[in-house]
Amino acid sequence: MTVRQVAPDPLTVQHRHELLRQMLFIRRFEEKCVELYSAGEIRGFVHLYIGEEAVAVGVNESLTPDDNIVSTYREHGHALARGIPVNAVMAEMYGKITGCSKGRGGSMHLFDAGRRFYGGNAIVGGGLPLATGVALADKMRGDQRVTACFFGDGAVAEGEFHECMNLAALWKLPVLFCCENNLYAMGTALERAQAQTDLALRAESYGMTAWPVDGMDVLAVEQAARRAAESVRAGGGPHFLELRTYRFRAHSMYDPELYRGKAEVAEWRERDPIEALAGRMRAAGELSDEELAAIGEKLAAQIDESVMLARAAPAESVDDLTRFVYSTEPA
């Protein structure tokens, strides 16, 4: 049994404010991560979502709290949009026990089973079989959930992608496949890795509905995701969204970006999803500079507090090192 949320009218000003706030939240959170990483406070791989915020926020609008999400290692945005508390996500960046994965996962492995957020999966393509299985469980039980599965364009080259497209379509499983096509698999451009660069076309060949979507326009993403999710929920089998987007920063925190030109990055930055929405709202008289500044300040305070809490949180005792290997410790 699932209870559908009453969808807010996407045309209301309030709703647009909310979309803007969520995207800014992700942006500010990640900018803080860059600063903390540079200072050596958080380590490991940290993959930033900056530039792609419209995808996480837009797709999440189509889901109910009862739906499932299976994500990738570039999942800060998905996690925050899903509503995992920022304090828990930040504590996870610090590897603290108060983190959403008790500190064991770090940036790439954010989990929240209570919010049906199943990672945080860092093997490219490895999350697709999981999503397929989660959806299979729902289908067998008759639960009307949608499983949203995020992955990048790089995953499309993996065997697991094709195995899962086939299996999900064959069994008509309720999966919403969300391919975040940001044009680069780490440093390899799409056309250097894929014989057919029209990814929606490839998904379609498995007999499922597939649409390309402007991933820099949060309203377009939301609209497409709502239509797809409704169809999935109604028993229409898996759907595929190719969300065309762009990451503004390096693959993982810092790289010399030898694989793309500065002009290209600058060109995409012109289409910044946050600026785009804010611009439209300003033009329509829905947003003032003061309002925008106020939102920013509020978010900054919230994020600063999460940093303070994460720093202060206790580190897990080394005595507990081998916890969470088995559900019950073997004798």
Partner 1 sequence: MPALGADMDEGTLLEWLVKPGDEIRKGDIIAVVDTSKSAIEVESFHTGTIERLIVGVGETVPVGTVLATIAEQAAAAAPAAAAAPAAPVGPPEAAGPPEPQRARKRPAREPAARAKQRRQPVITSGKAQPAAASPLVRHLAEELRVDIATVQGTGPGGTITRADVQRAAIAGAGVAEPVTLPPQPGVAVTAAQPTPARPTVPVTARQPVTPLARRIAAELGIDVSKLTGSGSRGAVREADVRMAATARAPTQAPAQEREQAMRQAIGRLMARSKREIPHYYLSNTVDMTAAMDWLHQRNRELEVTERLVPAALLLKATALAARQVPQLNGYWEDDRFAPGDAVHLGVAISLRGGGLLTPAIHDAAELAPGELMAQLRDLVNRARGGRLRRAELTEATITVTNLGDQGVESVFGVIYPPQVALVGIGKIIERPVAVGGLVGARPVVITTLSADHRASDGYAGARYLAAVSDLLQRPEEL
Partner 2 sequence: MTAQAAPSRRDASRADKSGGPASPAGLVKISYREAMRAAIREALQRDDRVFLMGEDVGRYGGCFAVSLGLLEEFGPERIRDTPLSESAFVGAGIGAAMAGMRPIVEIMTVNFSLLALDQIMNNAATLLHMSGGQCNVPLVIRMTTGAGRQVAAQHSHSLEGWYTHIPGIKVLAPATLEDARGMLWTALQDPDPVLIFEHGSLYGMEGMLAADAGAVDISSAVIRRQGKDLTLITYGGTLGKALSAADELAKDGIEAEVIDLRALRPLDDATFLASVGKTHRAVIVDEGWRSGSLSAEITARIMERAFYDLDAAVERVCSAEVPMPYPRHLEEAALPQIGGIVAAARRAVG
| Separation of alpha carbons 237 and 174, rounded Å | 5
Nearest to 184 by CA among 77, 60, 51: 51
44 binds partner 1 (CB under 8 A): yes
Stretch that binds partner 1, among 111-119, 153-161, 223-231, 251-259 (CB under 8 A): 251-259
Residues 80-119 that bind partner 1 (CB under 8 A): none
Nearest to 245 by CA among 214, 269, 208, 267: 214
Q: Which of the listed partners (partner 1, partner 2, none) does 330 bind, with a CB threshold of 5 to 8 Å by partner kind? A: partner 2
Q: What are the φ and ψ backbone dihedral angles of 34, each rounded to 5 degrees? A: -60, -45
Interface characters, 106-145, with partner 2 (x: CB under 8 A): ---x-xxxx---xxxx-x--x-xxxxxxxxxxx-xx----
Question: Nearest approach, Cβ of 54 to partner 1 (angstroms)?
Answer: 20
253 binds partner 1 (CB under 8 A): yes
Residues 149-166, buried b or exposed e (16+ Cβ, 10 A)? bbbbbbbbbbebbbebbe
Q: Are 269 and 247 within 8 A, CB to CB?
A: no
Question: Nearest approach, Cβ of 311 to partner 1 (angstroms)?
Answer: 11
Q: Are 2 and 145 within 8 A, CB to CB?
A: yes
18 binds partner 2 (CB under 8 A): no
Residues 222-261 that bind partner 2 (CB under 8 A): none
Would you report the helix, strand and coil content of the chain in percent, each value rounded to 5? Answer: 45, 10, 40
| Separation of alpha carbons 116 and 100, rounded Å | 12
For 302, the enclosing helix (H) or strand (E) is helix 289-312
143 binds partner 1 (CB under 8 A): no
> Which one of 18, 41, 66, 291 is in contact with partner 1 (CB under 8 A)?
41
Residues 45-64 that bind partner 1 (CB under 8 A): 45
The tokens for 301 are 């305070």
DSSP state of 124: T
256 binds partner 1 (CB under 8 A): yes
Give 36 or 179: the residue with its C-beta nearer to partner 1. 36
Stretch that binds partner 1, among 41-49, 135-143, 203-211, 282-290 (CB under 8 A): 41-49
Question: Nearest approach, Cβ of 226 to partner 2 (angstroms)?
Answer: 24
Q: Which of the listed partners (partner 2, partner 1, none) does 38 bind, with a CB threshold of 5 to 8 Å by partner kind? A: partner 1
Stretch that binds partner 1, among 2-10, 40-48, 114-122, 185-193 (CB under 8 A): 40-48
Q: What angle do CA 252, 129, 330 make, to 5 degrees?
A: 90
Q: Are 150 and 60 within 8 A, CB to CB?
A: no
Residues in contact with partner 1 by CB under 8 A are 31, 34-35, 37-41, 43-45, 253-256, 258
Residues in contact with partner 2 by CB under 8 A are 68, 70, 99-105, 109, 111-114, 118-121, 123, 126, 128-138, 140-141, 159-160, 163-164, 166-167, 170, 322-328, 330-331
